Amino acid sequence: MSRPLLALHTETTLTSDLPTDAAVARETGWDGLEVMAAKLRRYLDAGGDVSELVAQFDGVAPLSLLNLPDVERQAPAARTGLLQECEDLCALANSVGCSWIQLLTGPLDPRGTYSGLTGADWESVRTLTARNIRDICDLGARHGISFYLEGLAWTPVRTLEQLVEIITEVDRSNLGIVVDFWHLWTAGTTADDIARLDGSVIACVHFCDALDEPGGGGDPRQAGRNVWPGNGLIPLREWVDAIRSTGFDGWWSCELLGPLFWEMEPEALARAARAQLAETLELSA
């Protein structure tokens, strides 16, 4: 079996800029990058040149763009805005060679005015969310873009079973899910649940740990993510073994969110995160 692809999640190195992320990933042995759209836009708004940025990747593959939130938006103007945002992100992804875009269920910020489909019955949530994502996938296909769906733990679409139901209803070949350890753990997912997945629906893995109790529902502030992998409550090796048992062959990304990490020097953080991920995956280097 070939060594799995390891990707630096650029929200882990939140305070650094994108050229720094590319250099850090290269120096510390990552194979690819999950690129924050906000960092890419900031670089372009500052007058940065796309071709120069792509040259700086220098062997570190830009895999995906993060992200398109609140994918279930239903009000006509909001839905039109969602598809326009998708169009813009597809163009942005193409400009740097990313072939994937992450989708997020909503509301991303439940403290705001947007409540999404909160309170609706599951059949309505599934049907309406799937309708939007089907349109997103069709739009993306015209740009050569695929998508992976993440269910945020405090939203109406959060469990592994719900995500699979939506994937099935959308029925598009350019759609998968991300196995995000924190979100699924706080939504009540177990290693056994993951092992029952068809590995072909998993686009990538977001590896991390949690201070939250299993099935606790997930605080939108995500304070329970502020822990180094291995020091929290998730049985990391069990989850890794479960994912591998599905036949998954996408990339593994170490997504570390919180002040504990954002105050670290980016290269030291990236090096330590890769070492931790490689150790948990039992890789030789």
pLDDT band per the 50, 70, 90 thresholds, residue 157: very high
Average pLDDT of the segment spanning 143-159: 98
What's the CA gap between 103 and 42, in Å, rounded? 21
Q: Phi/psi at 76 (nearest 5 deg)?
A: -50, -50
* Neighbour-count burial for 6-29, b at 16+ CB within 10 Å, e otherwise: bbbbbbbbbebbbebbbbbbbebe
With a cut of 70, say whether residue 62 has pLDDT above it. yes
Distance from C-alpha of 199 to C-alpha of 244, rounded to nearest angstrom: 8
Residues sharing a CB contact under 8 Å with residue 126, sequence separation 6 or more, in sequence order: 157, 162, 165, 166, 169
Is it the case that residue 243 has pLDDT exceeding 70? Answer: yes
For residue 253, how many C-alpha atoms fall within 13 Å in the half-sphere facing its CB? 32
Average pLDDT over residues 74-102: 98
pLDDT reported for residue 1: 54
- pLDDT per position as a tens digit, 16-56: 999 999 999 999 999 999 999 999 999 999 999 999 999 99
Residue 31 pLDDT? 98
d(CA 139, CA 84): 10
Q: Tokens 């591998």 appear where? A: 244
In percent, how much of the chain has pLDDT > 90?
96
d(CA 9, CA 256): 8
Mean pLDDT of the chain: 96
Cα(211)–Cα(221) distance, rounded to whole angstroms? 13
Count H helices, E strands: the chain?
11, 8
Q: Does 285 have pLDDT greater than 60?
A: no
Q: What is the band of 121 on the pLDDT scale with cuts at 50, 70, 90?
A: very high
pTM: 0.97
Helix ranges restricted to H, 142-249: 160-170, 181-186, 191-195, 236-245
- pLDDT (tens digit, 9 = 90+) per residue, 211-241? 999 999 888 999 999 999 999 999 999 999 9
Please name each of the domains of the chain with its CATH number. Answer: 5-280 (3.20.20.150)
Tell me how crowded residue 279 is: count the other CB atoms within 10 A of its CB: 12
CA dist., res. 150 & res. 70, Å (int): 11
Q: How far apart are CA 145 and CA 122, in angstroms?
A: 28
Side chain identity at residue 128, one-letter code:
L
Helices (H), the chain: 18-28, 37-45, 50-57, 76-96, 122-141, 160-170, 181-186, 191-195, 236-245, 259-262, 266-280
Is the pLDDT score of 276 beyond 90? yes
List, in order, residues 6 or more apart from 35 with CB less than 8 Å away. Answer: 10, 18, 21, 62, 63, 64, 65, 66, 96, 98
Q: What is the pLDDT of residue 142?
A: 98
Strand 5-9 to 32-36 pairing: parallel
Instruction: Give the span between the Cα atoms of 54 and 61, in whole angstroms.
Output: 9
